[in-house]
Structure 1
Amino acid sequence: MKRWMLAFRIGFTYIGTVVGAGFASGQEIYQFFSVFGKYSLWAILLAVFLFAWLGTRMMMIGARLNASSYQEFNHYLFGNRFGKWMNGFVAVILFGVITAMLSGTGALAKEQLGLSFHIGVWITIGLAFLVILKGMDGILSINSLVVPFMLFFTCLIGIQSLQAPGWSEIFHLPVVNRDGHWMLSAVSYVAFNLAMSQAVLVPLGGEIQDAKLLRLGGWIGGVGLGIMLWISNIAMQLRFEDIRSVEIPMAVVIGTLGVWIKYFFLAVMWGEIFTTLIGNIYGLAAYLRQIWGLKEMTWICFIFISTYFCSLVGFPVLISYLYPFFGYLGFMVLLLLIVRQKPVRC
């Protein structure tokens, strides 16, 4: 029983690392899957398989390398020369994502709850600091608490969708994105998210070290992500014409569930931001400690302070340029994950 509990903690940490505000809002699901109409289900099935297979391989490589950060992982995949560049670029991206996540929590507090932007950010920083103090065990524990609420919220959406008319239409929906292909979209979605998730999955594998547990946890995480993708996609496709012109498609879906669900939705969105935030901070601090020394807690405090000030001035321009480039590098990570043999245990 204890092994199953640990496997679910691994799987939930995987889910919590991948999902974020874009997932909770429905925007990611719409852009990568729903726009492909009747082919979206096939895209989700492909994404589930890749998440489960390659996420597990990433953790297994981390275990074989006895890795404490993503640095060892990229050196193994890309070699020492190009691995250094990849590690530096991942650090910049993680810094940008942390900044965007903090800014998002401030925006939630200000726009939805009527609180100060700064209060929202500093409450999030304080809670994140307490979780990260406990290291990987803290990250596993908070994901084990938050992710079941995400799954419960997704199930609520699924139950509501079952009562909606028009189920037969989702199997005949036209493809909106004529410039892309559902298969390429699914692969690019997995590539980007796995490239980002290495900050957590690699040291997680290095700490757990149990191959059977990592495989089981990897598949639990991959299938869990697939269930959330599938239910959310169907819910939005049933209201496809209503969500095409909105920034938060999921808001249209939950609008029929009553006023009280709005606050549940905001709590879930904050939780998805928070789980991604703590994983990225942990991964970035571990990398910086390996490169420049100093205590990990020193780097964590530096990251919090610097990203707080950056969140005040905004980071959207930098992210708009870095994200697409990081997506291309994600394809390289996926390819090397497939073709590289697992290393001999160090």
Structure 2
Amino acid sequence: MTNRWMNSLKIGFTYIGTVVGAGFASGQEILQFFSLFGWWGTIGIMVSTVLFIWLGTRMMLMGHLLQAKSYEEVNHYLFGERIGHWVSIFVGITLFGVTTAMMAGTGALFEEQIGLSFHVGVIGTAVLAYMVIIRGMEGILSINALVVPLMLLFMLLIGIHSWQTRDFSQLAQLEPSNHTGNWLFSALTYVAFNLAMSQAVLVPLGAEISDKNTIRIGGWIGGVGLGLMLLIGHIAMQLRLDQMITLDIPMALVIEVLGEGIKMFFLLVMWGEVFTTLIGNVYGLAANLESAVPVGKKRLMALIFICAYAFSLLGFPTLVSYLYPLFGYCGMFIIALLIVRKLPA
């Protein structure tokens, strides 16, 4: 029983670490997808939490039942061989784009916040990530078991600070900002994008776990954890929305009043969130490309890092800003089929 719960915690933490990235840590994702909708954004978070629990678990169970080595096998099952192949190619392109953006983000973090070279940040992070993922899924599980509790602690500090310094009664009267869009569609797009991205890790993770109940418990832990983190960040945003809405890194407004030590903790958490997304993306890409590029998995991973580093120097993250919405719509089809398709026998 103890072993099952430990494995479930690792699954849940890996799920959280795969979904949560730099956009989450900065507060920008929470702001755009939820907080701009006022009270309805809170309902959107509840809907998202239910979908993260349900569909994330189904995705891992499909990987388990198909014994899938990569996300392409699940896409073939969902869409059929021909369409599934093209969906997987699009997923791979976007994963590479996000990987490039994550690497460029680490360089910017080191350069702007710590005063070190952009190249030191990118290369140092890439080398460390490579050392983790050559250990396979065990390495990904282990690093998420270390980093995700730090993320949860950081969000808890944000929540405690908001509780102590603000009047929560005002939350009941919150109105949406002057923001076009629908709260429910925004919540669905958020879940769709992140689950489509998480395929790269959740599918092979499910295949490596022998017990279905362990997967189900892990799915609950991951989904509930994501929901709580979203809710805490959303409340902190809502209490200062008029100030937050103009900032590139809204969470910085909360951090700056907590002292220099918390600021450094914030930078560590932000780097950790980038790191967990990075290792998940590269692992998933390598698993999917292994049969098409027969150079050995370790060399293939190194090649992905080298190419991503090269593209990060060319400003490739700009392209990702166009791919994200398209990937969200693609994710809508994936979650729709996750709902209607029966689990493999």
> Corresponding residue for 1:195?
196
Aligned-partner Cα distance in 2 for 1:135–1:216: 22
Query: Residue 24 of structure 1 aligns to which amino acid in structure 2?
Result: A
Cα distance, 1:166 vs structure 2: 2.6
Secondary structure in structure 2 of the residue aligned to 1:290: coil
TM-score normalized by the length of structure 1: 0.98
Query: Residue 22 of structure 1 aligns to which amino acid in structure 2?
Result: G
Query: Residue 323 of structure 1 aligns to which amino acid in structure 2?
Result: Y
Cα distance, 1:11 vs structure 2: 0.1
Question: Are 2:164 and 1:153 equivalent residues in the alignment?
Answer: no
Question: Are 2:19 and 1:4 equivalent residues in the alignment?
Answer: no
Cα distance, 1:177 vs structure 2: 5.0
Greater alpha carbon shift after TM alignment, 260-269 vs 294-303: 294-303
Aligned-partner Cα distance in 1 for 2:57–2:20: 17
> Corresponding residue for 1:23?
24
Deviation sequence 1:239-282 (CA, Å, 0-9, x none): 11111100000000111111211110000000000000000000
How many residues matched? 344
State the Cα RMSD in Å. 0.9
Query: Residue 119 of structure 1 aligns to which amino acid in structure 2?
Result: V
Cα distance, 1:317 vs structure 2: 3.2
Query: Residue 223 of structure 1 aligns to which amino acid in structure 2?
Result: V
Aligned-partner Cα distance in 1 for 2:100–2:121: 13
Aligned-partner Cα distance in 2 for 1:104–1:38: 32
> Corresponding residue for 1:331?
332
> Corresponding residue for 2:273?
272
Cα distance, 1:44 vs structure 2: 0.6
Query: Residue 26 of structure 1 aligns to which amino acid in structure 2?
Result: G
Question: Are 2:323 and 1:322 equivalent residues in the alignment?
Answer: yes
**Kindly tell me: are residues 339 and 239 of structure 1, through their superposed partners in 2, closer, same or farther at Cα, counting changes over 3 Å?**
same
> Corresponding residue for 1:217?
218
Structure 2: which 5+ residue stretches go unaligned? none
Question: Are 2:315 and 1:301 equivalent residues in the alignment?
Answer: no
Aligned-partner Cα distance in 1 for 2:288–2:179: 41
Alignment of 1:1-346 (within 5 A): 1-344=2-345
Secondary structure in structure 1 of the residue aligned to 2:291: helix
Q: Which 4+ runs in 1 deviate beyond 6 A? A: none
Task: Using the aligned pairs only, state the percent identity.
Answer: 60
Greater alpha carbon shift after TM alignment, 266-275 vs 37-46: 37-46
Aligned-partner Cα distance in 1 for 2:190–2:178: 15
Aligned-partner Cα distance in 1 for 2:185–2:178: 12
Secondary structure in structure 2 of the residue aligned to 1:341: coil
Cα distance, 1:178 vs structure 2: 4.2
Cα distance, 1:339 vs structure 2: 0.1
Q: Is the 8 A contact 1:102 1:121 kept in 2?
A: yes
Query: Residue 286 of structure 2 aligns to which amino acid in structure 1?
Result: A
Cα distance, 1:209 vs structure 2: 3.0
Structure 1: which 5+ residue stretches go unaligned? none
Q: Is the 8 A contact 1:191 1:330 kept in 2?
A: yes
Query: Residue 317 of structure 1 aligns to which amino acid in structure 2?
Result: T
TM-score normalized by the length of structure 2: 0.98
Query: Residue 262 of structure 2 aligns to which amino acid in structure 1?
Result: I
Query: Residue 239 of structure 2 aligns to which amino acid in structure 1?
Result: L
Aligned-partner Cα distance in 2 for 1:316–1:127: 21
Secondary structure in structure 1 of the residue aligned to 2:247: coil
Q: Is the 8 A contact 1:15 1:224 kept in 2?
A: yes
Aligned-partner Cα distance in 2 for 1:254–1:317: 27
Deviation sequence 1:25-79 (CA, Å, 0-9, x none): 0000000000011112111100000000000000000001001110101100110
Cα distance, 1:221 vs structure 2: 0.1
Secondary structure in structure 2 of the residue aligned to 1:294: coil
Deviation sequence 1:78-125 (CA, Å, 0-9, x none): 100001101111110011011000000000000000000000011101
Aligned-partner Cα distance in 2 for 1:294–1:302: 10
Cα distance, 1:158 vs structure 2: 0.7
Aligned-partner Cα distance in 1 for 2:87–2:240: 41
Aligned-partner Cα distance in 2 for 1:165–1:304: 44
Q: Is the 8 A contact 1:102 1:311 kept in 2?
A: yes
